[in-house]
Amino acid sequence: MIIVGERINATRKQIRAALEKKDREFFIKEAKIQIESGSDFLDLNAGTGSNNEAEDLKWLIELVQSEYPDVKLALDSANTDVLAKCLPLVKNKPVIVNSINAETKKLQEFLPLLKNFPDVYIVALTMDDSGIPSSWEKRVEIANKLYNELTCTGIKKENIFFDALVQPVGTDVEAFKTYLMALRKIKEKLPETRSICGLSNVSFGLPKRKLINKYALAIAMYEGLEAVIIDPVDPGILEARCIAGVLTGRDQFCINYISYFREGKI
């Protein structure tokens, strides 16, 4: 299970304020706690709504890499010009591009960019010009379209991470079941690709969100989820990943579970 730490995201007020001030110590701490909590990648989002996104993202990349030279990064931007400028700055490969979808305009913008960076991991959202489909069948259909488009650019099959789009259960009690079915069917149809999701969406608007997130992660891992974008600092996430790994057979001989227990992590 790949963990992508989501905390350095400028849509959060605290992150935006720190980015505007270029608060080095703040971001060094944010990166540190996520790495220590088990993140495999750190997601960097510098989209404050200003015209400085490329410069801000470049600043974040250089800062994080200077302090943690072994870190791997996910660049979270909808702007292809920003990504074209910033992708070459990432030292450790692979780098995750978060994200593309099947909207006509976005595909037209992203596909030429990806031809220049064929070794990236790409997060592919199963939505199109009509938005997020309400049915799992439509999400599978969109995944197939994206698969064909992406592989034609030279992206390797195993580097495509489909996001079947977790929606809040607080507004639709069937939403997580729909997501799980889409996750399962995409994997059946396109077995060489991988899966990812922004899991914390599932609990939006509800109390005790971390509790819901923890159990949702365990269930999604049972259905084959291979990567998650989430706040790794929540100890329940590490616990859920560890125990679900044992119960789904991913943790051979329970080695990770025993190690985490001995280290006092669970």
Mean pLDDT of all residues in 232-244: 89
| Beta bridge mates, 220 | none
pTM of the model: 0.95
In tens, the pLDDT along 101-129 reads 999 999 999 999 999 999 999 999 999 99
Q: Is the peptide bond before 191 cis (omega within 30 degrees of 0)?
A: no
Mean pLDDT of all residues in 18-23: 96
In tens, the pLDDT along 197-230 reads 999 999 999 999 999 999 999 999 999 999 999 9
| Helix axes 136-152 and 104-115, enclosed angle (nearest 10) | 30
Longest dimension (CA), the chain: 51
Distance CA 42, CA 51 (A): 23
| pLDDT score of 209 | 94
In tens, the pLDDT along 91-108 reads 999 999 999 999 999 999
pLDDT range class, residue 235, cuts 50, 70, 90: confident
* All residues at 6 or more sequence positions from 21 whose CB lies less than 8 Å from its CB, including other chains: none
Identity of the residue numbered 50: S
Q: Please provide the CATH number assigned to the domain covering 2-195.
A: 3.20.20.20
